[in-house]
Every structure is written in structure tokens, then in C-alpha cells.
Amino acid sequence: MTFWTLRKIVLCSGGFGLATYNLVWSDHQLLTTEKLSAEAKRPAHLKMISKKGLPSRADHIKALKETPEYDVLVVGGGATGSGVALDAVTRGLKTALVEMDDFSSGTSSRSTKLIHGGVRYLQKAILKLDYDQYRMVKEALHERANLLEIAPHLSYPFPIMLPVYHWWQIPYFWVGIKAYDFVAGSKNVKSSYYLSKKKALEHFPMLKKEKLCGAIVYYDGQHNDARMNLALILTAVRYGANCANHVGVTELIKDENGQLCGAKLKDNLTGEEWPVKAKVIINATGPFTDSIRRMDNPDQRLICQPSAGVHITLPGYYSPDSMGLLDPATSDGRVIFFLPWQKFTIAGTTDTPCEVSTNPSPSEADIQFILQEIKKYLNSDVNVRRGDVMSAWSGIRPLVLDPSKGNTESIARNHIIDISESGLITIAGGKWTTYRSMAAETIDAAVKKFPDRLKPLSESQTDGLLLEGGDEWTPTMFIRLVQDYGIEPEVANHLANTYGDRAFAVAKLAELTGRRWPVVGNRLHPEFPYIAAEVRFAIREYACNAVDVIARRLRLSFLNVEAAEEVLPKIIEIMSQELKWSKKEAQAQYDKAIEFLHTEMGKNANKQVKMVSPLSLSATEINKYTSQFHSMDKEKKGYITINDLRRSFKALGQKVSDEELHVLLSEVDVNKNGQVELGEYLWLISALKSGDVATSVFAAAVELEHQRETGYKQISVERSGGGVYKTNYEKVAYG
């Protein structure tokens, strides 16, 4: 490092600070007027129409058929559409929302679950002195604070560590992060701070020591995205909106002047179709926006450039309980992160251009790619294994290209609001965090465009408006569930942090366990705090099929796809009782849910690691190795350990180093209990003998054996593009 580089860094960091100060100052006057106490000024029309029970889905469908005309019809029940419906209904507009699949079944349940202002955008804003970018970050930071406030049961402040690998980056990162705090102003979550290398490793012990110089910790928020989405819907319903899932828009209806006046709806549960009238129609269909706009006018230019982002779920020990890690500065510009979520770790992500699909599927290549990337960050105690991937999913980013060139403001703002000639209002892009401001802006735009059609009773009311469950929630509310109902603390905690003050309604549905403790609340799966009563409650929250329950009411399929498969029969049994499903219907539900787990939650991708090689051992060999296994397992424990294995390899005349042995054990131990059971042992021997093995680490270790025996080298996973495992051998000189 020369003096000049140092000088550059100091100047750069200093300049960064000054520029921020200027931006914030010029913004100051604008914002002070915005600060009115929202709660005190709620208009009289803002009243919940149903405080206790929620109307059923059938009630909503009936209303959708009988209401002569809605003010606003929202198409799409993701974060954006739900936010729009809530904004519209709380302004006193007659509002309906239809979602062709389940609420939050699209991108909104597949996000990274961060509530963030966008540190990276701020960097751009400051370096380029770009005021629009700056306003966007400022707005996102306001929304971040709002989301933490209106749904305290579903969202919380979340510390994120930025590892620093070059000491000269420290001042640069530090100033950048302090600018982020500073811009957030009174809306800041908590102050960021610097950690020395030693402290960083205390906070994040799984991190690789080498090259680390230190770390910076800053705060954003985290939430349960699908539940947040549902809370928006339920709140809109409480204020009088009619919202129906599994109802799609199949056609737009225009009047004699070519203006939109309604839409044809189709109930996907019954196949029934009917028209609904609406003064204004809002398309909030996320990455589907283009297909909708083209329905309106087939010659529309594309405004979406979809790209897929894959996440994987790993066991909780990949990250500390309550701190995430994010590297925004990978050499090729991708963002790598490990974030604890619901006691597991979410890691990601990829960014690949894709086609829009209703069921995006994570590929094995995507999963391998993420594993390879995260390996670089973890120390050798955290052995990154393919078998640890519990679930994987893909979300489609609707990156918005602006249809009307020259309108750079909307690009900078990351979302667009487009009004077509026939009056279709499209809202697309943005992020989860800013759903509310986007929604308010959309309704503002609608009111401005159609002053004769829309007569709202007030301005937007959603800033600071509490969502379903948030009202009486407190951080210690779960204790009452333990003490009053006799629910296990872990379950009570989960209920409180999922349903907020509605957790008591769930507790009332919970059946007696028949044991002394817990008194009520039978778990659906021993490893998860989900209880059977939640399935019954899910139906009251408009879950219509098994997938709605495992993916969005409970988040089980995102956490552990195998566990989700295990509890399916139980869930379907309960749903069958509640919804009077026939045997045939129950079977169809099961098949559909399995299909979902396989295609959308990474179950199929996962399959390759499980017992890939059919046992290529003869019956005599099986007998031989079985008795060998039993002789190794002297204490008749039913499993063998690494020491037993070492002895066994010796006896077989195979030289395997301790390092290799450790690797082998970790890969072959498919159920990850640190022990090798008979089946696993036979598989290991078989794989070692045949060289016919599947993945990563294990493959590499066994490949050595294979090469020794044959002199051939197997083409690596990376070189085959991530797909090919057992073809394509090339001759190598093995020395």
C-alpha cells in the first residue's frame, strides 16, 4: 500500500461523509413537514368491520358475485397487490383483490426475508451525488422502520456482519455504513459498529479466520415474508375488502369507449366463472405483469426483465442465532449471504436471467454453485455438505425496464406505475420493503388519473397502521400462552411470533395432549414447533389446499422439505375433516403437494445425494460386509463411528487418511447423526468399490480410489456445468 493509495482512501472516505451530509441536509426541510402524528389523525371512516371472526372464503366469493361495482379491483395477492388493497380500502374505497394461486405464492414468499433500505444503492447515490437514488434509500429506510412498527410480531431488527478482507477497506466501509445510519436518522434501527477480527470471530465463530481483517455490523430488519403478506390481506379484510385466493382474472372487460370497466374471474377450486365490475383495475401480478399488459394490448413493449434468485436452507449451525453475514463485495459483484431464519440458515444467492413461470424450480447447478461459494467463507469445522441442503427455492425478480424511455426517475425509484390507454394501472418492480409506499403511490396515481371515478374519503392511512396480530402483541406475550393454556414455551414462542395477538385464537383450537405437560398442543413434527391446531386455523386464514399450509401458513417446506413430506399425511387428515375431503380428493392433495415439494422446494435436486448408486454388491458381499459391520459394532450400538471405520478400511487393505475419512463420514452419513448405520455403511463400501458415486466431497474422495484402480479421471462437477456426474471419463496419467 503506497502513501498515495492511502491518501485516496482517506479522501474518498472523507468525501463520502461530506457528500452524505450534503444530501441529508438538502433533504431536511422536505421531511420535517411530513412528521405528523399519524395515529392522532385517523379519519372517522377508518373502522374495522369485522373485529372477531374473519369472513370465510365463501363469503368473499359471494360478495364478489353480488357487489354491483367495486371502486378498485386488484389483480395479484403478493406483497404489492395486498398492499394496494389495504391502501385502497383504508381510504374508504370499495375494494376487491383476487389472487389466482395462494396469497404470497409468488415471489413474495421466496424473498431473502430482509427488510432493507439498500446499502448498495446508498453507496451509488453518494458516489454519484444522485439525489433520486438517495431519496429512494431514504424512503426505503422509512418503510423499513414502518414495517418493524406495524407488525412487531413478524418483523424484528436484524444485525448483519460485513466481513472485511483488506484492512484499507475498513474506513471506507465504516463511513458507508455510518452514512446509512445517518440517512435513516430517527428511523434508524440500531447503530452500526466496528468489530476487530477477534471480536468478529466471537460473534460469528463459523467464519474462516484467514485473510479476515475485521468486520462491520449494521442493522436492517428481517421478517416472515409469507406471513407478513397474509397479515396485509387479513388486515384489508378487517377493514372491509373482499379478498379471494385461487381466483384468477381470465379476461379484461372494456366498455364501448374502450375503457376498462371490469374483469372476468375464475374460481380455480370450482371452475366457476363470472364477471365483476370495477371502476379501476390494478394489475399487481409481479413478474407476470407483461402477460397482463399484453392482454390489455398485445403490442405492449416488455417492461419486465425477469431473473431468478435461488436460496437454500441449511442447518442452524451454519450461522449464529441472531446475526447474519453478507458480503456485498464479491469480486464479480454478486451478493453472498448467510442469514439465520426460523432457527435455520438461509444462504444465497444466484442471479440468472430466466423465463417467467408459475412454479420456478431451483436446479442442482444453482445449489452446487451456492455451496461452492459459501464454502469460501466458513472454517473447516463447518463441513459444507450437499446433504445439509434442507430446502431450496427460486424466486423471480421482476427487474423493471422502463417502457417510456427518458423517464429515468422511475428507474431510479426501482418500480414503475404505468397507466394504459384503456385505464389499466400496472404497478411493478420495487421490493418487499417498499410495498407500502408503492401501494400508496399507486392509489394516488389512480385517484389523480380518474378523479371522477374514485372518491376516496381520505389520504393514504397505511403509514403506521397496525397489521393483523400486531395490536396487543408484546415480546413476552408468549408467557401467557404457557401459563394460561399449558403450551410448551418453544411452541408458545412460535405461535406468538407468527400470529401475534391472534395466537390465543390458535391456542383455543389446540387439543389436549393427554399428557401432564404440555397440556395442549400436539406437535405435527417432533423437530418443529408447529402444532395441529395451526392447520385448523390455517383454513380460517383461507388456506385451501395442503400446499397453502406447508408453504405459507406454516413455513415448513422452506425449512425442511423432508419434514414437510413427513407431516403431509397428518395435515391432509386434519384438512379432510375440516373441508370434508373425500378419499380421492385427499389423495389428489397429497400428490399435488409432493409434486410441489419436488419441483419448487428442491426435493428432486436433493435426491441425487440420497443413495444414488444402487447397491452394486452381490448377495455374498452384502452378507460379508453386514457381518463385518456387526463385528465392528462391538457394543451392538446399531451404528459405527469414525474409529470403527478407520479399522475397517485397514482390514480391507485400503489406505484412507484421517482427512479423507472425515470427509467420507460426513458425506455418507446421510441422516446426519454423526454415526454410520448399516445401510449407510453398505452404500459406502459399494460406492467405494464401483466408483459410481454422486456428489462433491464424497465423489472427490472416492474418485481417488477410482483413479488408483483404473487410471481414469472423472470429469468434475464444475467442469461438466454442474449437471453431469457419472459419464464422461477422460484418461489421465495417474502418478
Ligand X SMILES: *[C@@H]1O[C@H](CO)[C@@H](O)[C@H](O)[C@H]1NC(C)=O
Ligand Y SMILES: Cc1cc2nc3c(=O)[nH]c(=O)nc-3n(C[C@H](O)[C@H](O)[C@H](O)COP(=O)(O)OP(=O)(O)OC[C@H]3O[C@@H](n4cnc5c(N)ncnc54)[C@H](O)[C@@H]3O)c2cc1C
Binding site for ligand Y (CB under 6 A): 75-81, 98-101, 105-108, 111-114, 116, 248-249, 284-288, 309, 349, 395-397, 430-433
Among residue numbers 366 through 385, which ones bind ligand X (CB under 6 A)? none
CB 309, min distance to ligand Y, A = 3
With respect to ligand Y, which residue has the nearer C-beta, 184 or 668?
184
Tell me the residue nearest to ligand Y as measured from the CB: 78
Contacts of 150 (CB under 8 A, 6+ apart): 464, 465, 466, 467, 470
CB 621, min distance to ligand Y, A = 47
Bridge-based pairing state of the strands 70-75 and 273-283: parallel
Rounded-to-integer distance, Cα 355 and Cα 690, Å: 39
Among residue numbers 458 through 497, which ones bind ligand X (CB under 6 A)? none
Among residue numbers 632 through 691, which ones bind ligand X (CB under 6 A)? none
CB 318, min distance to ligand Y, A = 18
CB 480, min distance to ligand Y, A = 32
| Omega cis (within 30) before 349 | yes
Q: Which does 295 bind (CB under 5 to 8 A by kind): ligand Y, ligand X, none?
A: ligand X
Q: Taking CB under 6 A as the rule, does residue 250 contact ligand X?
A: yes
Question: In 199-297, which ranges are E strands?
Answer: 214-223, 242-245, 247-254, 260-267, 273-283
- Cell numbers found for residue 728: 464422461
CB 304, min distance to ligand Y, A = 10
Rounded-to-integer distance, Cα 454 and Cα 213, Å: 58
CB-CB contact of 614 with 682 (8 Å): no
Q: Taking CB under 6 A as the rule, does residue 271 contact ligand X?
A: yes
Q: Which does 105 bind (CB under 5 to 8 A by kind): ligand X, ligand Y, none?
A: ligand Y
The total number of residues written for the chain in this structure: 735
- 3-state secondary structure (DSSP) of residue 389: coil
Contacts of 205 (CB under 8 A, 6+ apart): 320, 379
Rounded-to-integer distance, Cα 325 and Cα 600, Å: 26
Q: Taking CB under 6 A as the rule, does residue 327 contact ligand X?
A: no
Stretch of 77-85, 290-298, 321-329, 512-520 contacting ligand X, by CB under 6 A:
290-298
With respect to ligand Y, which residue has the nearer C-beta, 63 or 284?
284
Q: Which does 263 bind (CB under 5 to 8 A by kind): ligand Y, ligand X, none?
A: ligand X
Listed residue (263, 167, 287) closest to 216, CA to CA? 167
Alpha helix (H) residue ranges in 601-641: 603-607, 619-632
Q: Which does 312 bind (CB under 5 to 8 A by kind): ligand X, ligand Y, none?
A: none
With respect to ligand X, which residue has the nearer C-beta, 290 or 364?
290
With respect to ligand X, which residue has the nearer C-beta, 20 or 426?
426
Q: Which does 330 bind (CB under 5 to 8 A by kind): ligand X, ligand Y, none?
A: none
Stretch of 282-290, 326-334, 542-550, 654-662 contacting ligand X, by CB under 6 A:
282-290
CA 144 from chain centre, in angstroms, equals 17
Q: Taking CB under 6 A as the rule, does residue 112 contact ligand X?
A: no
323: alpha, beta or left, given left = phi > 0 and alpha = psi -120 to 50? Answer: beta
CB 182, min distance to ligand Y, A = 21
Q: Taking CB under 6 A as the rule, does residue 296 contact ligand X?
A: yes
Stretch of 63-71, 186-194, 250-258, 467-475 contacting ligand X, by CB under 6 A:
250-258
Listed residue (373, 392, 393, 377) closest to 332, CA to CA? 373
Rounded-to-integer distance, Cα 413 and Cα 134, Å: 10
Q: Taking CB under 6 A as the rule, does residue 249 contact ligand X?
A: yes
Binding residue for ligand X, selected from 292, 417, 446, 567, defined by CB under 6 A: 292
| Omega cis (within 30) before 68 | no
Q: Which does 78 bind (CB under 5 to 8 A by kind): ligand Y, ligand X, none?
A: ligand Y
Stretch of 12-20, 54-62, 286-294, 697-705 contacting ligand X, by CB under 6 A:
286-294
CB-CB contact of 158 with 221 (8 Å): yes
In one-letter notation, the amino acid at residue 31 is L
With respect to ligand X, which residue has the nearer C-beta, 285 or 461?
285
CB-CB contact of 206 with 43 (8 Å): no
Q: How many CA atoms does the CB half-sphere of 665 hold within 13 Å?
A: 22
- 3-state secondary structure (DSSP) of residue 72: strand
CA 273 from chain centre, in angstroms, equals 33
Max Cα separation, the chain? 88
CB 126, min distance to ligand Y, A = 21
CB 79, min distance to ligand Y, A = 4
CB 77, min distance to ligand Y, A = 6
Binding residue for ligand X, selected from 126, 263, 454, 544, defined by CB under 6 A: 263
Stretch of 174-182, 263-271, 396-404, 560-568 contacting ligand X, by CB under 6 A:
263-271
Report the helix count and the strand count for the chain, using DSSP H and E: 26, 22
With respect to ligand X, which residue has the nearer C-beta, 183 or 278?
278
Task: Count the neighbouring beta carbons within 10 Å of the beta carbon of residue 202.
Answer: 11
Q: What are phi and psi of 490, to 5 degrees?
A: -65, -40
Q: Which does 456 bind (CB under 5 to 8 A by kind): ligand X, ligand Y, none?
A: none
Q: Which does 424 bind (CB under 5 to 8 A by kind): ligand X, ligand Y, none?
A: ligand X
Q: Taking CB under 6 A as the rule, does residue 318 contact ligand X?
A: no
CB 511, min distance to ligand X, A = 33
CB-CB contact of 249 with 98 (8 Å): yes
DSSP string, 633-673: -TT--SEE-HHHHHHHHHHHT----HHHHHHHHHHH-TT-S
**Which long-range CB contacts under 8 A does 703-711 form with residues at least 24 apart?**
704/660, 705/654, 707/732, 707/734, 708/734
Q: Taking CB under 6 A as the rule, does residue 288 contact ligand X?
A: yes
Q: Taking CB under 6 A as the rule, does residue 589 contact ligand X?
A: no
Binding residue for ligand X, selected from 98, 281, 439, 533, defined by CB under 6 A: 281
Contacts of 609 (CB under 8 A, 6+ apart): 386, 387, 670, 694, 695
Q: Taking CB under 6 A as the rule, does residue 268 contact ligand X?
A: yes
Q: Which does 74 bind (CB under 5 to 8 A by kind): ligand X, ligand Y, none?
A: none
Q: Taking CB under 6 A as the rule, does residue 140 contact ligand X?
A: no
Binding residue for ligand X, selected from 261, 304, 382, 424, defined by CB under 6 A: 424
With respect to ligand Y, which residue has the nearer C-beta, 110 or 689?
110
Binding residue for ligand X, selected from 9, 127, 212, 295, defined by CB under 6 A: 295
With respect to ligand X, which residue has the nearer C-beta, 84 or 697?
84
Please calculate the CA angle 610-589-85 and round it to the nearest 5 degrees. 110
- 3-state secondary structure (DSSP) of residue 348: strand
Q: Which does 511 bind (CB under 5 to 8 A by kind): ligand X, ligand Y, none?
A: none
CB 284, min distance to ligand X, A = 9
Tell me the residue nearest to ligand X as measured from the CB: 292
Q: Which does 140 bind (CB under 5 to 8 A by kind): ligand X, ligand Y, none?
A: none
Element (H, E) at 289: helix 289-296
Please calculate the CA angle 82-84-85 and round it to the nearest 5 degrees. 65
Q: Which does 268 bind (CB under 5 to 8 A by kind): ligand X, ligand Y, none?
A: ligand X
Q: Which does 296 bind (CB under 5 to 8 A by kind): ligand Y, ligand X, none?
A: ligand X
With respect to ligand X, which residue has the nearer C-beta, 295 or 335?
295
Q: What is the DSSP letter of 317?
A: G
In one-letter notation, the amino acid at residue 255 is D
Q: Taking CB under 6 A as the rule, does residue 75 contact ligand X?
A: yes
Interface contacts to ligand X, rule CB under 6 A = 75, 249-252, 260, 263, 268, 271, 281, 283, 285, 288, 291-292, 295-296, 424
